[in-house]
A and B are shown apart, each in its own frame.
Chain A
């Protein structure tokens, strides 16, 4: 196991390195001048622009800029954002926890709804429950998320007034004492129950909207995997032995059906983290998606690279976790 982990870690470093090269090259190949975003109209003389370019290292050839970036990265310095004027590390610390909180909630919701839905659909194959489950899955994946977000906001916040329009807390309220940056976790750990309730109320709607896409994927994956597994001999044998159906499904079929589902879960979570842009924007959720859009549109190279690295690290870590989980789910799969 240790050898396997070391091998995977080394591979991860290579993947991250290649990711930075690809992102750096792509970002610099987009036509545009990043200094235009930060130097005002009134003072944009060639001398001032040259000064700003020198300050941010933009006056050097691209390969030299990359080497310098890598050198700083090895010291934990992700550079300075052109748009926020803060260090990228600080920006990521500020924006990333919000996205993690949203994605975690969305994932939990998707698993709680999608998992049982998929199982029911498989068990009641071709019945009313199966049709309903497939309909819900279809809706979740087919309806554009920005439309769903606007609809949800209009119904629950505007019409029914039972949930807030957006934000992580009510207007003007101070966040809980900082620990992780996830307001629900921080409030829970510090016993700030009012804030916990408030944070949960605020994450509910965007979490459900973001998770709706994943419900469909999870439900369909579990359904088809379970259907496939349930046709196997060992399931027939289990039934023939007289085991109750619950035991047949729960102890024998489901575990094997989860193997492909776990893969999908890992990729879906990574996708939620990377793709929460619309949800964050509509629900005023100050997360990584919003930061990513801003840095991309302003050609903020350090910011773009910072976001890419974070997302890459998360996806690599999730893939590793998934691979380790395989070993638990299926004794035939050993990491050695």
Chain B
């Protein structure tokens, strides 16, 4: 009896010790339950929170850009019940995000999504694409956007000449000249790293065709006309570096740069750009700090310091936002966003990303098997419960483009979506293909989460949907990196994958997915000569409306051929405190810190 009583005492003490702090943690305020697993991108809730009205045009570090475009200052619709105070100079803005992917800020090497806000703040391009209409360009370090009318683009479409803005100083104090652009572009190409392909339009195996016509004019000669070229020149890799400073730190633009360049370590911790912010420090897996550039050529930033802070998961990120430890929460889960929206204390900014999650169906008979039959691929397209996936798994935080071109890019509105859930049609197609009872293997990365979707949940859902057609689906979970390697080697019959843009032009999707031998197309052995022909036309068509028609036709063909089926295109949802103004979601950069301001 004594032992039992003693045991009860211990149990009571243990329970009390657990319950009291738990109650203290859980009760009161707007904080709800425990943290939920992080999504890789923020997903929107279906809450009624007001959204930020995207600006008609936003400045991107360029006072001239504001003058050139029909500029309307960015407006933020505050959440119900509040007003934002006027911003005044000074202070710091802290953005929380999972930044485990960050490893460098060297423009010749950087290729991680989380690096974009830092690169957008510290470095500048010749031209830029401002949301919401990213089909248009504004000048940044170029005096004007080159066109055939102003002579900036040659008649044959192969030569682009940029007159540079005067008196632009690097963070080091040196003045920008055309020679710095030549150095930066050559170095980008010769480093032969992930972003080097962005120099491909003006590079060959033996030469990088960029030259300084005079100290303030830089000229690019393309191997072939490429209407998307300006989009290449608006990325965070095709930026200018202070060539003198970088060379002093061991940087080189020689053809041997891949092995001889030593400037990366310096550029990991320091910026040699022209942007409104200067990189101060980078503590890996911890934080990145940028300070205002006091010698910026344009209007100075409206605050002193920008900090990008590591957030492990949505729960911690939400707590830190509510506690005032961060000003911007970049990748909260949908339920966290919904709860914060209801509180009325925060501003929710939504924007379509340019990423997507898609199914890849191998079209060859040796690997694809019965998927080589277009009817079977189309049947799968009609079988999937897209709304169930978007509303159930993503809480409505996604949209769905008709095919592989994400919504927001040129030509998407020219094609009517073909695949809506239609089981009758799906079953019929499977019967026509004589595929009833036959098995396809769906390979996916076990434990992987892509664009907020846990594949361990998505794969069984897809299996259940497709098996309603009479087909059988065998799930093959695989170690994610092995799955990726096999997919790249075109060894998989049927798989789930994702894609994100390198530059904001329709060609960044149309080519890899549509062109024979394109990065994605070759993995499913897809080839359609008609698409190849249209792609070549699309690259040289200057008229925007005609170009949109071309890409519309491309999408119709790919949609019908169905080598790829897009499941969802995530909608980013960023939560900011009321004191923050100017947040405009950029589908590639996430945000340009220069546009931000903080009241109080």
Chain A interface residues toward B at CB < 8 A: 30-44, 46, 49, 83-86, 94, 131-132, 134-135, 138-139, 142-143, 150-151, 153-155, 157-159, 161, 164-168, 171-172, 174, 281-282, 284, 286, 290-291, 294, 298-299
B16-24, B330-338, B462-470 - the one binding chain A: B16-24
Interface residue count on the B side (C-beta < 8 Å): 63
Asked whether any CB of chain A lies closer than 8 Å to the CB of B433, the reply is no
A286 touches B319 (CB 8 A): no
Q: Which of B104, B315, B316, B485 is close to A33, meaning CB atoms less than 8 Å apart? A: B485
Asked whether any CB of chain A lies closer than 8 Å to the CB of B194, the reply is yes
11 contacts between A and B (CB under 8 A): A30-B479, A31-B479, A33-B485, A36-B481, A46-B489, A132-B13, A135-B13, A157-B319, A171-B289, A172-B305, A299-B481
A-chain residues with CB within 8 Å of residue B502 when the two chains form the complex: 42
B286 touches A37 (CB 8 A): no
The A-B contact count (CB < 8 A) is 138
Distance between Cα atoms of A54 and B104 in the complex (Å): 22
A41 touches B519 (CB 8 A): yes
- Closest chain-A Cβ to B477's Cβ sits at a distance in Å of 12
Across the two chains, which residue of chain B brings its CB closest to A161? B323
Distance between Cα atoms of A49 and B283 in the complex (Å): 30
B35 touches A150 (CB 8 A): yes
Q: Which of A35, A131, A157, A286 is close to B9, meaning CB atoms less than 8 Å apart? A: A131
Asked whether any CB of chain A lies closer than 8 Å to the CB of B476, the reply is no
Q: Which of A44, A134, A143, A154 is close to B488, meaning CB atoms less than 8 Å apart? A: A44
A131 touches B6 (CB 8 A): yes
A-chain residues with CB within 8 Å of residue B34 when the two chains form the complex: 150
Chain B interface residues toward A at CB < 8 A: 6, 9-10, 13-14, 17-18, 21-22, 24-26, 31, 34-35, 92, 94, 100, 103-104, 109, 111, 194-197, 264-265, 280-281, 283-287, 289, 305, 307, 309-312, 315-316, 319-320, 322-323, 325, 478-482, 484-485, 488-489, 499, 502, 512, 519-520
- Closest chain-B Cβ to A295's Cβ sits at a distance in Å of 12
Q: Which of B6, B18, B305, B481 is close to A34, meaning CB atoms less than 8 Å apart? A: B481
A284 touches B21 (CB 8 A): no
A151 touches B109 (CB 8 A): no
A41 touches B499 (CB 8 A): yes
A165 touches B10 (CB 8 A): no
Distance between Cα atoms of A309 and B322 in the complex (Å): 42
Distance between Cα atoms of A239 and B403 in the complex (Å): 87
- Closest chain-A Cβ to B131's Cβ sits at a distance in Å of 23
- Closest chain-B Cβ to A168's Cβ sits at a distance in Å of 7
A-chain residues with CB within 8 Å of residue B319 when the two chains form the complex: 153-154, 157-158, 165
B287 touches A171 (CB 8 A): yes
B-chain residues with CB within 8 Å of residue A138 when the two chains form the complex: 10, 14
B-chain residues with CB within 8 Å of residue A154 when the two chains form the complex: 25-26, 31, 319
A-chain residues with CB within 8 Å of residue B194 when the two chains form the complex: 38-40, 42-43
- Closest chain-B Cβ to A123's Cβ sits at a distance in Å of 19
Q: Which of B100, B283, B310 is close to A294, meaning CB atoms less than 8 Å apart? A: B100
Are A282 and B312 CB-contacts (below 8 A) given A32-B482, A135-B13, A171-B94?
A: yes
Across the two chains, which residue of chain B brings its CB closest to A136? B17
A-chain residues with CB within 8 Å of residue B316 when the two chains form the complex: 153, 165-166, 282
B312 touches A286 (CB 8 A): no
A158 touches B322 (CB 8 A): yes
A143 touches B18 (CB 8 A): yes
Distance between Cα atoms of A142 and B10 in the complex (Å): 13
Distance between Cα atoms of A143 and B15 in the complex (Å): 11
- Closest chain-A Cβ to B417's Cβ sits at a distance in Å of 25
B481 touches A37 (CB 8 A): yes
Task: Identify 18 new A-B residue pairs, CB closer than 8 A, beyond the known A34-B481, A85-B104, A172-B305.
Answer: A40-B111, A40-B195, A41-B520, A42-B197, A131-B13, A132-B13, A134-B10, A139-B14, A139-B17, A150-B315, A151-B21, A151-B25, A155-B24, A165-B325, A284-B309, A284-B311, A284-B312, A286-B286
